[in-house]
Chain A
């Protein structure tokens, strides 16, 4: 039924202010979207609206010019509108002299069908301009109430809240243990229909939604600050870029599933649940959503909206989301329902070895000469000494005692203690430097006979935590797992002790301990860490202080690498291999941080792990990968992108 309503009959006849939007919907059972091309300010005021009360579909449109049109004596103003949708097609028009009254139409129908889209489209002509307006709604009816993910293999970390930007859910699709044959990339997606009826066909469609962690390259190269786009996942399911959004498949043993142009459809069971399998990609930070609807045409018309995450239909209806808190799509009047965002996280399995007991961290010899000055005693050594190494340190002289060492050359030991040259001459001695890697020794004896282990802070920035303060890899969507790289029996605490490990022996030293190499696959990433003592002597911070302007050189950690890079292209090509393992030189870390009174000595490990993952680093401004002693504990975007591009386990080609 269509009525052209005169101004006298229509309630806003006397309106002195624009009545926009015209329709105020009384029920949240009805969703609307608006469009208006009339001028944003000035006259005419154009409006249209559509509403549904469960029985009657009502559309209204008006053009307000009355009392505000000094120019309209000789011209007509008008409102014409069409209300349409399944089973409904109503049109009407109202024309009047512009100075006489406003124009409006009222359209009504009782033929509205459930779960259908109805719109009113109006054309407005005013005295000084005009335009078009429209409004749409979806009538209530049977629908998909929720879309949820479920693990098929539940003996693993659950699908839980994604702690990173964008929220939603996260999944670990990689292997839990190295040799398992289950495919954890494959999960289940269930759509709950509003009626417990079997045999309703539900259409599923998957999307690669925008990466919410950045709006610019290198992390999200297809965004800019004003436009965010999906289709930015780094991985794919089968080697083809067409599967970046994951792949929907029919569950094993199911019947009634069919592919359609945008995805896969399956039938509901007697509980009203339709189920599909969904295979996700493996790259950390990749994200997805799955939408479901009983209406194939409708779901085919959906697309990501401007935020790159939400979905909209051609009438600008935004598709409601199944939130984890409500477990249902927020609006009950819709034609589709989507899942929450699902984001990929990866585990980084860690094998941790440590060198065995410190031995030989001293030099012994005989005093073959001695002189005493007013300020110190100088003792000539029978054995060559590393220059300056033993300052500060101690010398234990047989039958005489223990004295502080203030200096040493290649053959001379200086102590500011008064030692009788006559007594010292010919005596054997043992010389220790100031090493005390874990600061547990009341008297310094070079840590001899002490086992080399991690300290409290060695792993403080790489914990199994979602807190970026405790796990600097959180922004890369990576969670360290301390499982020995597949088996705790891989972890060894008695790897051959080397007092000063030279680069030329580093790989051999790693090979002594590394047991997880065979466990590494694309789906089981392993890094190897060996808690070591000191690097080669030129870099071990012995002596503590500068002895000439060359400065003291220190190496806190080391990583043999195969290839590294600081950035890779946005398509993740030309990825560096990285390395197999790293050393943390615990005694040098102690030296450096004691010397400069620094608190955070947990940064060396993630720095070295960054190298294992293929990051070149060590440049100024590269935060945790820089060579600064106290860098900012986070990765720069180029390095995050590189980590997120990794396919192979670190060190594997």
Chain B
């Protein structure tokens, strides 16, 4: 839990402070963004083919001055670019990171010297296009300023893609046969998809793909008012080790209970 310094400001004072920050943003938004240090990592380094790849961002201000910036790591805000290169060092920018576009605004504010901000999102679209063969890949992220052309760039991060074996191979085959693998981990928005993925989870409950599919089904159940089904799915996800969406699982469970 975050440590909170309680404020005793009145509402008008808070607004005034905020407006001052806004003024400050505009004064310095054009400089310094590239001075932020961006690092990326993942929850693991080895992934089975088609397994979603979490990208964990760490943005740091290692300068001795305040820098106006943002930490919009969410792919739908469209402020992050991800580049992939394979063993032959052929570098490609991932064309589409999210199935959503959000008008994310008002997010640039002063980042103090020494501060660091963490966040994450997950590569889950077109994975077989960019990580088509088992092997060694490298990933780099670029965080774009929302107000200028300045960027903060990370170094290359190594990931290893392995071929699925045994049951995982069957799971991959199932997904290839019955779904659009480029969009398999996106929102389940129809009964037909629900049935396919329920079938998948029944057959391959422990595959590397299953936690993501189970969470999507839980979201679908939640939206449809099938609380019991949603809770059951979410409770299963609580035991998944190192699951990047654990906070979302917790939040959904809290709201449902």
Partners in one complex: yes
**For the side of the interface on A, what is the size category?**
35 or more
Flag if A503 contacts B76 (CB, 8 Å). yes
- In the complex, the answer to whether A545 meets B148 with C-beta atoms within 8 Å is no
Q: Does B4 contact A (CB under 8 A)?
A: yes
Q: Is there a chain A Cβ closer than 8 Å to B71's Cβ? A: yes
Which residues of B have CB within 8 Å of A128? none
- Which of B16-24, B43-51, B132-140, B158-166 lies on the face that meets chain A? B16-24
Q: With A407-B7, A506-B100 as known contacts, state yes or no: A620 contacts B108, CB within 8 Å.
A: no
A21 in the interface, Cβ–Cβ < 8 Å?
A: no
A414: B residues at CB distance < 8 A:
6
Minimum CB distance partner of B148 in chain A: A620
Whether A375 sits at the interface, judged by CB under 8 Å, is: yes
Would A539 and B104 count as touching, CB distance under 8 A? yes
Which residue of the partner chain, among A508, A546, A618, contacts B103 with CB atoms under 8 Å?
A618
Residue with the greatest number of chain A CB neighbours at <10 A, chosen from B9, B10, B11: B11
Assess the A629–B115 pair: CB atoms within 8 A: no
* With A546-B18, A559-B100, A620-B148 as contacts: A596 and B4 at CB distance below 8 Å: no
Residues in A with CB closer than 8 Å to B11 are 392, 404, 406
| Cβ 8 A contact of A508, one of B18, B148, B223 | B223
Is residue B90 within 8 Å, beta carbon to beta carbon, of the partner chain? no
Within 8 A of A (CB), among B103-162: 103-112, 115, 117, 144-149
Q: Which residues of B contact A535 (CB under 8 A)?
A: 102
Per the bound structure, the CA–CA distance linking A504 and B188 in Å amounts to 8
Which stretch from B169-177, B199-207, B214-222, B234-242 is at the chain A interface?
B214-222
| B14 contacts A by Cβ under 8 Å | yes
Known contacts: A550-B117, A620-B146. The answer to whether A604 contacts B103 by CB under 8 A is yes
Tell me which residues across on chain B come within 8 A of A596, comparing CB atoms. Answer: 19, 22, 106
Please state if B99 and A561 are interface contacts (CB–CB under 8 Å).
Answer: yes
B-chain residues with CB within 8 Å of residue A507 when the two chains form the complex = 187, 189
Task: For B144, list chain A residues within 8 Å (CB).
Answer: 619-620
B140 to chain A, nearest CB (A): 18
Known: A561-B101, A616-B78, A617-B78. A552 touches B106 (CB 8 A): yes
Q: How far is the CA of A227 from the CA of B222 in the complex (A)?
A: 61
Known interface pairs A502-B219, A620-B147; A551-B108 also in contact (CB < 8 Å): yes
Contacts of B98 in A (CB 8 A): 503
Residues on the B chain within 8 Å of A619, using CB? 78, 144
The chain A residue sitting closest to B149, CB to CB, is A620
Choose one: A406, A504, A505, A595; the contact of B18 (CB below 8 Å). A595
Tell me which residues across on chain A come within 8 A of B9, comparing CB atoms: 406
Among B2, B96, B222, the residue within 8 A (CB) of A387 is B2
* Contact indicator B107/A621 (Cβ below 8 Å): no
Q: Smallest Cβ distance from B218 to chain A, in angstroms?
A: 9
Please tell me if A544 contacts chain B, counting CB pairs below 8 Å. Answer: yes
Interface pair B189/A544, CB less than 8 Å apart: no
* B111/A554 in contact, CB under 8 A: no
Decide: A544 near B15, CB < 8 A? Known: A564-B101, A617-B101, A629-B105.
Answer: yes
Identify the 5 closest CB pairs spanning chains A and B, nearest first. A618-B78, A507-B189, A551-B109, A611-B101, A504-B219
Name A's B-contacting residues (CB within 8 A).
Answer: 375-376, 384, 387-388, 391-392, 404, 406-407, 409-410, 414, 416, 502-509, 511, 535, 539, 541, 544-564, 579, 592, 595-597, 604, 607-608, 611, 616-621, 626-629
Given A548-B2, A554-B104, A627-B104, 6 more A-B residue pairs with CB atoms under 8 Å apart are: A504-B215, A544-B18, A596-B22, A616-B78, A617-B78, A620-B148
